Structure 1
Amino acid sequence: MTAHSRGPRIIIPATPTPNGDLHVGHIAGPYLAADIYARRLRAEGEQVTLTTVTDDSQSYVVTTAARQGVSPERLCAESTGAIERSLAALGIELTSPDDRALPPVDDHYRAAVTDFVTALRASGRLRLRTVRLPYAEESGLYLYDGLLSGRCPSCEAASAGGVCEDCGHPNNFDQLLEPRYALRPQEPVSLREQRILVLPLEEYRAELEERFEATAARWRPHPLRLVRELLARPLPEIPVTFPGTWGVPAPFEDLAGQIVYPWAEAMPASMYATWWANGSPADVPYDVFWRSGHGTELVYFHGFDNVYHWAVMDLALLLAHEDRYVRPSASVCNEFYELEHAKFSTSRNHLIRAGDLVAGCSRDVARFHLALTCPERERTNFDPAELAAGRLTGPWNALAGVLDTVLAGRDPQEPVPVTEAGRRDSEAFADGMRECFELETFSLARAAALLLARTEQLRDDTTAVARPGDFMLGVRTLLAWAAPIMVDAAARAAADGVDLSLSGARFEKITPFRLPRLTEAVLPAV
């Protein structure tokens, strides 16, 4: 199968919670990786939709708004704007029909969520269950997710409700140890019974195991181990509705006063985002792009703390619709990115926002550094001094100088012959880069390291002047594979007429061109 014979691609980075701006830890996780992967596919002529949507219904919006003394609605609006500006600052281009990066959370969004869960209940997939839920006695609130704090029943680490950020295991209903109301930790919390709708994951065990084994080769070791741990235990019943007021109202008369559980929104939300990104066609339903039978490949990018949701819970929600929807072919999962060897923290102001990062350096320098140091298989550390040192900038600009020397005195319009040896050399580098972007071996860190090594190799090539065509092809191939990461240098080169496609065309001759230079970085404040 050739690249151009594949069906459309849908790439979904984790839905960001609009309770604040994105910081570098967020960007270095799913958003940069998804953007680079999408750019690489487009360079091969693929049809790609890269989209996500803010998860406004999350309870973390409520808790953050309360701490800031603003309404949740205002916090969502301001945070969504900040998130869009941060994505733009780092050159992360979501598919969009207009000048907005993110789709609006509007009546179309809410209708998608409502239709999704209504269809599940109508088909008999959901069950009414009486469960015990933590209840804040004085505030009169049922507690879940960000409203709830305590200790994880699996690893006993401090945890919010829903899932443990440390070990990744879920905690539903009354499972969290020592439950407290996150906004008022001293308030008495009791357990009260409520009747809600759930999806019994155990009923989908066989399909979950089969699907997971089919995609296991595309999982990294840590999330792979977590999914196997989850599947080795009895699978929980997941809430689909929950007593509350912030979110999409549950569309069932017998469950008045309940909302759709926020984590049950992710799949219809992503379907809606895909529909919106493709122009919101009024004559087709919100889920048309996710329907099976079109050869669509669906890929998720998310963090370790979302493995349970995206790999197990959300897959079961798709399976519950039987054969209606495409299944994800891969989940590219990152670990935590730390700042000075401590977790990024908005509450402690221990962070660097995306906009602040690029205020001191070019987007290309920032994107390359984040790719080189991103937390793919283990936690890694963002060091502002390392960014300022600019590991690529010096070698890259020196290479641009060597290319200038090679071009000195040449007619800029006269193509230069390339030898077979030069083609083989460039193709060997391309093969190494290509492997970095395959889903089984996807690695931005390795791609960035190969780009750096190749830049230094070409910079030190003592035969460059003697074989100019081969040298120029080497630089052009370097630039083409750097393009998904170094978007501005690529844009300047493309504007000058440099062919940066990754179609594998055979070069007999190459037209002279200049290599765009990079600007130095300055030390960002922490």
Structure 2
Amino acid sequence: MTAEQRHRILIAATPTPNGDLHVGHMAGPYLAADVYARYLRAAGLPVTYTTATDDSQTYVTSTARRQGTTPARLAAESTLAIEGSLTALGIELSAPEGRVLPPIDARYREAVTEFVRALHEAGRLRTLTVRLPYAERAGQYLYDGLLSGSCPSCGAASSGGGCEDCGHPNNFDELREARYALDAEDPVSYREETILALPMEEYRAELEAHFAEVLPRWRPRPARLVRELLDRPLPVIPVTVPGDWGVPAPFAPTPGQVVYPWVEAMPASMYATWWANGADRSLPYDEYWKASHGAEPVYFHGFDNVYHWGLVDLVLLLAHGDRYVRPSASVVNEFYELDHAKFSTSRNHLIRGAELVAETPRDTARFYLALTLPERERTNFDRAALAEVTARRLTGPWNELAARLAERTEPVGAEPQQITAAGRADEERFAAALRDCFELTGFSVARAAALLADRIAELNERAAGPGELGDLLAAVRSLLAWSAPILVDTARRAAEAGVVLALDAGPADKIAPFRVPPLP
């Protein structure tokens, strides 16, 4: 197998099941990874696209307490909602028939336990005494979603673990003006506790070598954050924490503690990959991530998770020696806003994925999200803009093109039409431009959507003129093939009607007439 034919493992950031996915989530890692996965499949390359719900996050327990329910019930109900929204938007995860997300069950917990136990047995973990914030009245150690305060790096309001604004981490007692997220009046003190931790600094040389190779494939702002993090002393990674929700830590030095939720993401990704490939009980949960398989993992996540997905997960792999493959890239998105304000579940300032598709045809929704998703800077979702932009750049010219092509082909019936050398060269230029959008070195769903819109307008004008019908048909067939990762329902209807949607259809002298499925 050549480097180009390696099995790609695409991991979208593990969604926290404390509610449904909203459009801000969908326009980030899930749609981008879906488009890339569909492109790889169309190119005939092996790919597994997967994720798993992040049930152990403290945001599940904090939301459950606010809603007066249990974490288990909230996680179960939210997982069903998340699966519904993913399906509604046509996010096609690799999964057994009739399933979407892997179950967070006993096998999952075994995978997490096996992963951290191997680190402990290899002597990679260190016993560490740290100061942790503690809510006195609640009797609760505070970390991540249970903790709020000010970022020690930029001063912005932040939860524990990491700052959404600047991306820098905070651990233990580093968050300033610490408060209990569920009760700001509950006095917060600091208590010493012994945990197990993984010193990131011990892997500096390997980190620097890895990022020297892969950062050219990252977008500028997240790449700059990685360099900022490497320019200062690297923190330790808590592997166990004193908590009452999550996978129990199997270590004698830390009785009653759980595995730190962010550490779960790495074995969760391995478990999800195993599950997506058939959940063969004769294979270990980490089978597909072993270096011997030579797979190529690619992560899709937001800027606020650069530290965790970019560095923490990598160190967790490095700590296992040469056992595992390492990610070749992280595709990082910025925040997608709604009416120029951050999506917010607590303020009900959001649109859920399933709600969007209920009011907008799926391909239209996918096109608008693709065109406006926040790849390099914050962008904005606006219902009025969705209607105006898609009518002007997608549905209007697309349906005019479909009608004009039907008029042009009616007199010739099913007779194949000649493709000229100029027509083949035009196809190749268009394919090269879209291929550059879909390959990791220049990956940009937004640029692809813009190029597709421009091509629709161009071919609509050509269809109204006297040009070669064979060249027009070849160009439209290529448009259908390269728009398929975004316009999934239209591509399916075209394929069912017999249109060949191979990305590389090969040189051809003639093409049979066909009809373009209209957009609703």
TM-score normalised to structure 1 length: 0.97
Q: Give the Å deviation of 1:6.
A: 1.2
Q: How do residues 451-490 of structure 1 correspond to structure 2 at under 5 angstroms? A: 451-461=452-462, 465-490=466-491
Other-structure match for 2:439: 438
- The answer to whether the 8 A contact 2:24-2:343 is kept is yes
Contact 1:422 1:470 in 2 (8 A): yes
- Checking the alignment, whether the CA contact within 8 Å between 1:406 and 1:465 is kept in structure 2 is no
Determine the structure 2 residue equivalent to 1:509.
510
Q: Give the equivalent residue in structure 1 for 2:283.
A: 284
Residue 351 of structure 2 aligns with which residue? Answer: 352
Aligned to 1:500: 501
The answer to whether the aligner puts 1:400 opposite 2:402 as a matched pair is yes
Which range moves more in the overlay, 391-400 or 469-478?
391-400
Cα distance 1:250–1:2, how it changes in 2: closer, same or farther (>3 A)? closer
Matches within 5 A, 1:281-430: 281-389=280-388, 390=390, 391-412=393-414, 414-430=415-431
Distance 1:99 1:114, change over 3 A: same
The secondary structure found in structure 1 opposite 2:279 is: coil
Matches of 1:149 and 1:230, distance apart in 2? 22
* Alignment length (residue pairs): 517
SS in 2 for 1:93: coil
| Cross-structure match for 1:26 | 25
What does the per-residue CA deviation read over 1:381-433, in whole Å, with 9 as the maximum and x for residues that have no partner? 11111111223110111111111111112223x32221111010011011000
Distance 2:258 2:129 in 1: 16
1:298 to partner: Cα distance: 0.7
Aligned-residue identity in percent: 66
Root-mean-square deviation over aligned CA pairs: 1.2
Q: Which runs of 5+ in 1 are unaligned?
A: 520-526
Contact kept, 8 Å, 2:163 with 2:169, in 1: the verdict is yes
C-alpha displacement at 1:254, in angstroms? 2.7
| Distance change (3 Å), C-alpha of 1:462 and 1:476 | closer
Counterpart residue number, 1:523: none
Q: Secondary structure at the match of 2:152?
A: coil
1:253 CA drift (Å): 2.5
CA deviation string 1:145-202 (max 9, x = no partner): 0000010000111100000011100000000001111001110111100000000000
Aligned partner of residue 501 in structure 2, secondary structure: coil
Distance 1:98 1:69 in 2: 35
- Which stretch of the first structure deviates more once superposed, 354-363 or 502-511? 502-511
Does the CA-based 8 Å contact 1:494-1:500 persist in structure 2?
A: yes
- After TM superposition, the structure 1 = structure 2 runs for residues 11-410 of structure 1, keeping only pairs within 5 Å, are 11-389=10-388, 390=390, 391-410=393-412
Per-residue CA deviation, residues 12-35 of structure 1 (Å, 9 max, x unaligned), is 000000000000000000000000
Deviation (angstroms), 1:98? 2.4
| CA drift at 1:464 | 5.3
Task: Check whether the contact 1:372–1:449 (CA below 8 A) recurs between aligned residues.
Answer: yes
SS of the counterpart of 2:44?
coil
3-state SS in 2 of match to 1:401: helix
Please tell me the residue identity of whatever aligns with 1:263. Answer: W
Runs of 4+ in 1 over 6 A off after TM superposition: none
Match of 1:524 in 2: none
Residue 240 of structure 1 contacts residue 260 of structure 1 at CA under 8 Å; is this kept in 2?
yes
Q: Is the 8 A contact 1:49 1:277 kept in 2?
A: yes
Which segment drifts farther, 250-259 or 425-434? 250-259
Check whether the contact 1:143–1:181 (CA below 8 A) recurs between aligned residues.
Answer: yes
Q: Aligned pair in 2 of structure 1 residues 197, 457: CA closer, same or farther (>3 Å)? A: same
| Helix, strand or coil at the partner of 1:229 | helix
Q: Secondary structure at the match of 2:328?
A: strand
Offset of residue 221 of structure 1: 0.9
Instruction: Output the TM-score relative to the length of structure 2.
Output: 0.98
Verify the 8 A CA contact 1:10 1:298 in the aligned structure 2: yes
Deviation of 1:504 after TM superposition, in Å, equals 4.7
In 1, the alpha carbon distance for the partners of 2:170 and 2:335 equals 21
SS at match of 2:250: coil
DSSP 3-state at the match of 1:392: helix
1:212-250 deviation per Cα after TM superposition (whole angstroms, max 9, x unaligned): 110011111110111111000100011000001100000
Q: Distance in 2 between matches of 1:203 and 1:466?
A: 65
* Deviation sequence 1:440-498 (CA, Å, 0-9, x none): 11101100000000000000016755411110000000110000000000000000111
Give the letter for the 1:397 counterpart: N
**Structure 1: which amino acid aligns with 2:501?**
L
Q: Is the 8 A contact 1:13 1:34 kept in 2?
A: yes
What is the alpha-carbon distance in structure 1 between the residues aligned to residue 136 and residue 426 of structure 2?
Answer: 71
In the aligned structure 2, how far is the partner of 1:289 from the partner of 1:420? 45
Contact 2:404 2:464 in 1 (8 A): no
Please give the alpha-carbon distance, in whole angstroms, between the structure 2 residues aligned to 1:466 and 1:159: 60
d(CA) in 2 for partners of 1:297, 1:477: 28
8 Å contact kept, 1:6–1:295: no
State how far apart, in whole Å, the 2-side matches of 1:504 and 1:329 are. Answer: 29
Preserved CA contact (<8 Å) 2:405 2:463: no
Change in 2 beyond 3 A, CA 1:296/1:464: farther
SS, match of residue 460 in structure 1? helix
Residues 406 and 464 in structure 1, CA contact (< 8 A), matched pair in contact too: no
Contact conserved, 2:290 with 2:323, CA < 8 A, in 1? yes
Supply the distance in 2 between the matched residues of 1:12 and 1:239 (Cα, whole angstroms): 23
CA displacement 1:326-380 (0-9 Å, x = unmatched)? 0000000000000111001111111111111111221100000000000000000
CA shift digits 1:68-108 (9 cap, x unpaired): 11110110000000000000110001000121100000011
Tell me, what secondary structure is at the counterpart of 1:480? helix
